[in-house]
Amino acid sequence: MRSGEATGERWNHAFALYARGAALWWLGEHEAAVRDLLDCLRIKESLGDQLGITLALDLLTPAPVVRGDHEQAAMLLGATDRMWRTLGASLQYGPHYMKRRAMSERAILRTLPRDRFEAAKRRGAALSVAEAIALARGEAVQVPRDDEPDPLTGREREVAALVAEGLSNREIAERLVIAKRTVDSHIEHILAKLGFNSRTQIATWTERRERGAAPSA
């Protein structure tokens, strides 16, 4: 019972931080607003509140513009667009909400050419929720650029895709009708080329590339 009450208290506290952060942003108190929103995001993340995380991240999208990091702002726009679609929710939170998003986009486009803006949004859409949160916190996030060449051969891409499906090396060998030792060799080459040390990293990299290549919904 007490645990449920504590969770409710944290949820309410996070919502209060979100509301105050929004008010401070509109008053021009950007640093204070960002502090509140990041605190809100930390609580929402601990609660696993995907809607709350998306709302907080969305409100943080103009923050990089203020810092002069327009490409990061475009990536956050792309990340939150995808998160809203994943939730199956709309962006209809009133005219002030839509106006703020439009203002952020115009501010970014005053500095970034349209093609770079769209490319940055696509890279943002390829981020996981955890990576989008890290980006909002100003942490380093590695994501392939659209113009980054694929270092893998065609066969290595096939193997990587099957790793992402969760197949073992023996299962991959059976699927591709090749020797298991050949698959072992491909996996070693993939890890070396990408600088990884685990199959999980290969799977994440593959899924991210596929999301980045997929057309926007």
pLDDT digit string (tens) for the chain, length 217 residues = 455 556 788 999 999 999 999 899 889 899 999 999 999 999 999 998 988 999 899 889 888 887 888 888 898 988 888 888 878 765 545 556 667 777 778 888 888 888 888 888 888 887 888 888 888 888 767 665 555 566 788 899 999 999 999 999 999 999 999 999 999 999 998 888 777 778 888 888 888 777 655 444 3
The first and second tokens of residue 141, run together, are 């996030």
The first and second tokens of residue 166, run together, are 């969760």
Predicted TM-score of the model (pTM): 0.62
Identity of residue 123: R
Angle at 43 between CA 135 and CA 136, to 5 degrees: 10
Residues for the chain: how many in total? 217
